A = this chain, B = another copy of it.
Amino acid sequence: MSNAIFTISCPDQKGITASLTNFVYQNNGNIIHADQHIDPQTNTFFMRLEWALHDFAIKRADIASAIQPLAQKFKMQWNLNFTDHRPRVAIFVSKNLHCLHDLLFRIHLNQLPCEPVMIISNHPLAQTVAKQFDIKFLEFVVLKENKTAKEKDQIKILKENQIDLIILARYMQILSPQFIAQFPFKIINIHHSFLPAFIGANPYAKAYQKGVKIIGATSHYVTEQLDEGPIIEQDIIRVSHRDTIVDLQRKSEDLERLVLSRAVLWHLENKILVYNNKTVIFD
Protein backbone atom coordinates (compact mmCIF):
# COMPACT_ATOMS: atom_id res chain seq x y z
CA MET A 1 0.00 0.00 0.00
CA SER A 2 1.04 3.53 -0.69
CA ASN A 3 1.60 6.42 1.70
CA ALA A 4 1.12 10.13 1.28
CA ILE A 5 4.05 12.43 2.12
CA PHE A 6 3.35 16.05 2.89
CA THR A 7 6.33 18.35 3.31
CA ILE A 8 5.97 21.99 4.32
CA SER A 9 7.77 25.08 5.42
CA CYS A 10 6.08 28.19 6.82
CA PRO A 11 6.51 30.88 9.47
CA ASP A 12 6.43 29.24 12.90
CA GLN A 13 3.31 29.75 15.00
CA LYS A 14 1.21 27.80 17.44
CA GLY A 15 -1.02 25.05 16.16
CA ILE A 16 0.60 23.92 12.94
CA THR A 17 1.42 20.39 14.06
CA ALA A 18 -1.91 20.01 15.84
CA SER A 19 -3.85 21.16 12.77
CA LEU A 20 -2.01 18.89 10.36
CA THR A 21 -2.04 15.78 12.49
CA ASN A 22 -5.73 16.38 13.23
CA PHE A 23 -6.40 16.61 9.51
CA VAL A 24 -4.90 13.16 9.06
CA TYR A 25 -6.55 11.69 12.14
CA GLN A 26 -10.05 12.98 11.41
CA ASN A 27 -9.84 11.52 7.95
CA ASN A 28 -8.88 8.17 9.42
CA GLY A 29 -5.24 8.21 8.37
CA ASN A 30 -2.49 6.44 10.24
CA ILE A 31 0.69 8.49 10.64
CA ILE A 32 3.79 6.49 9.73
CA HIS A 33 6.36 9.21 10.17
CA ALA A 34 6.24 12.77 11.45
CA ASP A 35 9.21 14.96 12.01
CA GLN A 36 9.52 18.69 12.39
CA HIS A 37 12.17 21.31 12.76
CA ILE A 38 12.17 24.95 13.75
CA ASP A 39 14.91 27.28 12.62
CA PRO A 40 15.10 29.81 15.45
CA GLN A 41 17.14 32.31 13.43
CA THR A 42 14.46 32.77 10.77
CA ASN A 43 11.50 31.52 12.86
CA THR A 44 10.69 29.01 10.13
CA PHE A 45 8.78 25.78 10.72
CA PHE A 46 9.48 22.64 8.67
CA MET A 47 7.58 19.38 8.69
CA ARG A 48 7.47 16.04 6.95
CA LEU A 49 4.31 14.05 7.54
CA GLU A 50 3.78 10.60 6.09
CA TRP A 51 0.57 8.61 6.51
CA ALA A 52 -0.91 5.41 5.14
CA LEU A 53 -3.54 5.87 2.43
CA HIS A 54 -5.15 2.59 3.45
CA ASP A 55 -8.54 3.50 5.01
CA PHE A 56 -7.88 7.21 4.45
CA ALA A 57 -11.23 8.96 3.91
CA ILE A 58 -10.10 11.29 1.14
CA LYS A 59 -9.35 10.05 -2.33
CA ARG A 60 -5.78 10.52 -3.45
CA ALA A 61 -6.71 13.02 -6.14
CA ASP A 62 -8.61 15.17 -3.64
CA ILE A 63 -6.07 15.39 -0.86
CA ALA A 64 -4.32 18.47 -2.21
CA SER A 65 -7.49 20.54 -2.37
CA ALA A 66 -8.67 19.22 1.00
CA ILE A 67 -5.47 20.38 2.64
CA GLN A 68 -5.49 23.74 0.84
CA PRO A 69 -7.36 25.72 3.56
CA LEU A 70 -4.82 24.69 6.20
CA ALA A 71 -1.96 25.48 3.86
CA GLN A 72 -3.34 28.93 3.24
CA LYS A 73 -4.06 29.64 6.89
CA PHE A 74 -0.44 28.96 7.85
CA LYS A 75 1.08 30.35 4.64
CA MET A 76 2.72 27.04 3.87
CA GLN A 77 5.00 26.23 0.99
CA TRP A 78 4.18 22.59 0.48
CA ASN A 79 4.59 19.46 -1.57
CA LEU A 80 2.42 16.38 -1.69
CA ASN A 81 3.90 13.11 -2.93
CA PHE A 82 3.01 9.44 -2.86
CA THR A 83 5.39 6.60 -2.13
CA ASP A 84 4.27 4.56 -5.12
CA HIS A 85 5.19 7.34 -7.53
CA ARG A 86 8.52 6.49 -9.12
CA PRO A 87 10.21 9.72 -10.25
CA ARG A 88 11.58 9.67 -13.79
CA VAL A 89 15.31 10.23 -13.80
CA ALA A 90 17.89 11.38 -16.33
CA ILE A 91 21.57 10.84 -15.55
CA PHE A 92 24.19 13.18 -17.03
CA VAL A 93 27.73 11.86 -17.17
CA SER A 94 31.05 12.51 -18.89
CA LYS A 95 34.04 10.14 -18.88
CA ASN A 96 34.22 9.04 -15.24
CA LEU A 97 31.61 6.33 -15.06
CA HIS A 98 31.87 5.07 -11.47
CA CYS A 99 28.87 7.05 -10.21
CA LEU A 100 26.74 6.16 -13.21
CA HIS A 101 27.59 2.52 -12.78
CA ASP A 102 26.85 2.63 -9.09
CA LEU A 103 23.48 4.36 -9.52
CA LEU A 104 22.33 1.91 -12.17
CA PHE A 105 23.37 -1.07 -10.09
CA ARG A 106 21.48 0.31 -7.07
CA ILE A 107 18.40 0.91 -9.20
CA HIS A 108 18.77 -2.66 -10.47
CA LEU A 109 18.83 -3.85 -6.81
CA ASN A 110 15.65 -1.83 -6.11
CA GLN A 111 17.50 0.38 -3.66
CA LEU A 112 16.61 3.64 -5.44
CA PRO A 113 12.86 3.93 -6.13
CA CYS A 114 12.92 5.66 -9.52
CA GLU A 115 12.55 5.11 -13.25
CA PRO A 116 15.88 5.56 -15.06
CA VAL A 117 14.78 7.02 -18.38
CA MET A 118 17.93 8.17 -20.12
CA ILE A 119 21.65 8.80 -19.92
CA ILE A 120 22.91 12.04 -21.45
CA SER A 121 26.61 12.54 -22.08
CA ASN A 122 29.05 14.74 -23.92
CA HIS A 123 31.13 11.66 -24.72
CA PRO A 124 30.34 8.29 -26.27
CA LEU A 125 32.12 6.41 -23.47
CA ALA A 126 29.04 5.74 -21.32
CA GLN A 127 27.23 4.00 -24.15
CA THR A 128 28.55 0.58 -23.09
CA VAL A 129 27.21 0.98 -19.57
CA ALA A 130 23.88 2.17 -20.99
CA LYS A 131 23.67 -1.03 -23.00
CA GLN A 132 24.68 -3.20 -20.02
CA PHE A 133 21.72 -1.82 -18.11
CA ASP A 134 19.45 -1.39 -21.14
CA ILE A 135 18.83 2.36 -20.90
CA LYS A 136 18.49 4.97 -23.63
CA PHE A 137 21.75 6.82 -24.32
CA LEU A 138 21.92 10.29 -25.85
CA GLU A 139 25.16 11.98 -26.81
CA PHE A 140 25.30 15.76 -27.05
CA VAL A 141 28.64 17.13 -28.22
CA VAL A 142 28.46 20.47 -26.44
CA LEU A 143 30.84 23.16 -27.66
CA LYS A 144 31.14 26.80 -26.75
CA GLU A 145 29.47 27.90 -29.97
CA ASN A 146 26.52 25.49 -29.81
CA LYS A 147 25.93 25.31 -26.06
CA THR A 148 22.71 27.37 -26.03
CA ALA A 149 21.22 25.36 -28.86
CA LYS A 150 22.25 22.02 -27.38
CA GLU A 151 20.83 22.92 -23.99
CA LYS A 152 17.55 23.88 -25.63
CA ASP A 153 17.44 20.45 -27.25
CA GLN A 154 18.22 18.82 -23.93
CA ILE A 155 15.51 20.76 -22.13
CA LYS A 156 13.00 19.81 -24.80
CA ILE A 157 13.82 16.11 -24.50
CA LEU A 158 13.81 16.22 -20.72
CA LYS A 159 10.42 17.91 -20.67
CA GLU A 160 8.94 15.59 -23.29
CA ASN A 161 10.08 12.65 -21.21
CA GLN A 162 8.61 14.18 -18.04
CA ILE A 163 11.91 13.96 -16.19
CA ASP A 164 11.45 14.64 -12.48
CA LEU A 165 15.09 14.52 -11.43
CA ILE A 166 18.40 15.16 -13.16
CA ILE A 167 21.49 13.58 -11.64
CA LEU A 168 24.87 14.98 -12.60
CA ALA A 169 26.96 11.86 -12.03
CA ARG A 170 30.35 13.52 -12.70
CA TYR A 171 29.14 15.60 -15.66
CA MET A 172 32.02 17.92 -16.49
CA GLN A 173 30.03 20.59 -18.34
CA ILE A 174 28.77 23.70 -16.59
CA LEU A 175 25.02 24.11 -17.05
CA SER A 176 23.77 27.57 -17.95
CA PRO A 177 21.50 29.54 -15.59
CA GLN A 178 18.77 29.19 -18.23
CA PHE A 179 18.99 25.42 -18.06
CA ILE A 180 19.08 25.33 -14.26
CA ALA A 181 16.09 27.65 -14.00
CA GLN A 182 13.99 25.00 -15.74
CA PHE A 183 14.62 22.45 -12.99
CA PRO A 184 14.73 24.25 -9.63
CA PHE A 185 16.00 21.90 -6.90
CA LYS A 186 15.58 19.03 -9.33
CA ILE A 187 19.24 18.75 -10.29
CA ILE A 188 21.62 16.92 -7.94
CA ASN A 189 25.36 17.17 -8.49
CA ILE A 190 28.30 15.31 -6.96
CA HIS A 191 31.38 17.43 -6.37
CA HIS A 192 34.61 15.56 -5.78
CA SER A 193 35.77 17.60 -2.80
CA PHE A 194 34.70 18.55 0.68
CA LEU A 195 32.96 21.81 -0.20
CA PRO A 196 33.51 24.70 0.35
CA ALA A 197 37.13 23.54 0.17
CA PHE A 198 38.49 23.17 -3.35
CA ILE A 199 35.64 24.69 -5.32
CA GLY A 200 35.97 24.40 -9.08
CA ALA A 201 38.20 22.26 -11.25
CA ASN A 202 40.83 19.66 -10.25
CA PRO A 203 40.03 19.24 -6.55
CA TYR A 204 42.18 16.09 -6.33
CA ALA A 205 45.25 18.01 -7.47
CA LYS A 206 44.43 20.88 -5.14
CA ALA A 207 44.01 18.56 -2.17
CA TYR A 208 47.30 16.87 -2.97
CA GLN A 209 49.04 20.20 -3.34
CA LYS A 210 47.63 21.43 -0.04
CA GLY A 211 48.62 18.29 1.82
CA VAL A 212 45.26 17.73 3.55
CA LYS A 213 44.93 14.68 5.76
CA ILE A 214 41.30 14.03 4.87
CA ILE A 215 39.50 14.33 1.55
CA GLY A 216 35.76 14.51 0.96
CA ALA A 217 32.91 14.51 -1.49
CA THR A 218 29.79 16.66 -1.53
CA SER A 219 26.39 16.21 -3.14
CA HIS A 220 24.26 19.30 -3.56
CA TYR A 221 21.38 20.80 -5.50
CA VAL A 222 22.54 22.80 -8.47
CA THR A 223 21.87 26.52 -8.44
CA GLU A 224 23.29 29.28 -10.56
CA GLN A 225 26.34 29.64 -8.32
CA LEU A 226 28.83 26.95 -9.31
CA ASP A 227 29.38 24.45 -6.47
CA GLU A 228 27.45 26.72 -4.11
CA GLY A 229 24.00 25.13 -4.05
CA PRO A 230 22.41 23.65 -0.90
CA ILE A 231 24.53 20.79 0.42
CA ILE A 232 22.67 17.50 0.81
CA GLU A 233 25.35 15.10 1.99
CA GLN A 234 29.10 14.93 2.57
CA ASP A 235 31.51 12.23 3.58
CA ILE A 236 35.24 11.91 4.00
CA ILE A 237 38.17 9.50 4.02
CA ARG A 238 41.67 9.75 5.47
CA VAL A 239 44.67 10.20 3.22
CA SER A 240 48.39 10.46 3.97
CA HIS A 241 51.65 11.63 2.44
CA ARG A 242 51.85 8.22 0.76
CA ASP A 243 48.80 8.88 -1.40
CA THR A 244 49.50 10.09 -4.91
CA ILE A 245 46.93 12.06 -6.89
CA VAL A 246 45.88 8.75 -8.45
CA ASP A 247 45.30 7.31 -4.96
CA LEU A 248 43.30 10.39 -3.97
CA GLN A 249 41.15 9.92 -7.05
CA ARG A 250 40.54 6.25 -6.31
CA LYS A 251 39.64 6.94 -2.68
CA SER A 252 37.49 9.91 -3.63
CA GLU A 253 35.57 7.92 -6.22
CA ASP A 254 34.46 5.53 -3.49
CA LEU A 255 33.16 8.51 -1.55
CA GLU A 256 31.47 10.03 -4.58
CA ARG A 257 29.47 6.88 -5.19
CA LEU A 258 28.27 6.74 -1.58
CA VAL A 259 27.56 10.44 -1.20
CA LEU A 260 25.68 10.80 -4.47
CA SER A 261 23.56 7.69 -3.94
CA ARG A 262 22.54 8.83 -0.45
CA ALA A 263 21.50 12.24 -1.74
CA VAL A 264 19.46 10.68 -4.55
CA LEU A 265 17.77 8.25 -2.15
CA TRP A 266 16.76 11.01 0.26
CA HIS A 267 15.45 13.13 -2.60
CA LEU A 268 13.41 10.21 -3.91
CA GLU A 269 12.01 9.60 -0.43
CA ASN A 270 11.00 13.27 -0.14
CA LYS A 271 13.15 13.73 2.93
CA ILE A 272 14.86 16.96 1.88
CA LEU A 273 13.55 20.50 2.37
CA VAL A 274 15.50 23.47 1.07
CA TYR A 275 15.63 26.94 2.57
CA ASN A 276 18.19 29.72 2.79
CA ASN A 277 20.47 27.78 0.47
CA LYS A 278 20.65 25.00 3.08
CA THR A 279 18.86 21.68 3.51
CA VAL A 280 16.76 20.15 6.26
CA ILE A 281 16.99 16.37 5.98
CA PHE A 282 14.45 14.28 7.87
CA ASP A 283 15.93 10.88 8.53
Could you list which residues of chain A lie within 8 angstroms of chain B, going by C-beta atoms?
14-15, 17-19, 21-22, 24-26, 28-40, 98, 101, 105, 109, 111, 132, 194-198, 210-214, 216, 230-236, 238, 240-242, 244, 250, 254, 258, 276-281, 283
Min Cβ gap A233→B in Å is 6
CA distance A22 to B254 in the complex (A): 40
| Copy total for this chain | 4
Choose from B21, B238, B278 the contact partner of A17 (Cβ within 8 Å): B21
Min Cβ gap A270→B in Å is 15
- Decide if the interface of chain A is mainly helix, strand, loop or mixed: mixed
Question: A233's closest neighbor in chain B, by CB?
Answer: B213
* Given known contacts A14-B30, A32-B38, A35-B35, A210 and B197 CB-to-CB distance under 8 angstroms: no
9 A-B residue pairs with Cβ-Cβ distance under 8 Å, sorted by A, are: A14-B25, A17-B21, A18-B24, A33-B38, A40-B244, A196-B197, A210-B231, A236-B236, A238-B238
CA distance A232 to B211 in the complex (A): 9
Min Cβ gap A151→B in Å is 28
Once the chains bind, are A211 and B278 in contact (CB under 8 Å)?
yes
Choose from B17, B25, B40 the contact partner of A31 (Cβ within 8 Å): B17
CA distance A212 to B231 in the complex (A): 6
Choose from B22, B241, B244 the contact partner of A18 (Cβ within 8 Å): B22
With a cutoff of 8 Å between Cβ atoms, the chain B residues found around residue A38 in the complex are: 32-33
Once the chains bind, are A25 and B15 in contact (CB under 8 Å)?
yes
With a cutoff of 8 Å between Cβ atoms, the chain B residues found around residue A40 in the complex are: 244
Once the chains bind, are A250 and B37 in contact (CB under 8 Å)?
no
Once the chains bind, are B236 and A214 in contact (CB under 8 Å)?
yes
Once the chains bind, are B242 and A37 in contact (CB under 8 Å)?
yes
Once the chains bind, are B241 and A278 in contact (CB under 8 Å)?
yes
CA distance A208 to B61 in the complex (A): 38
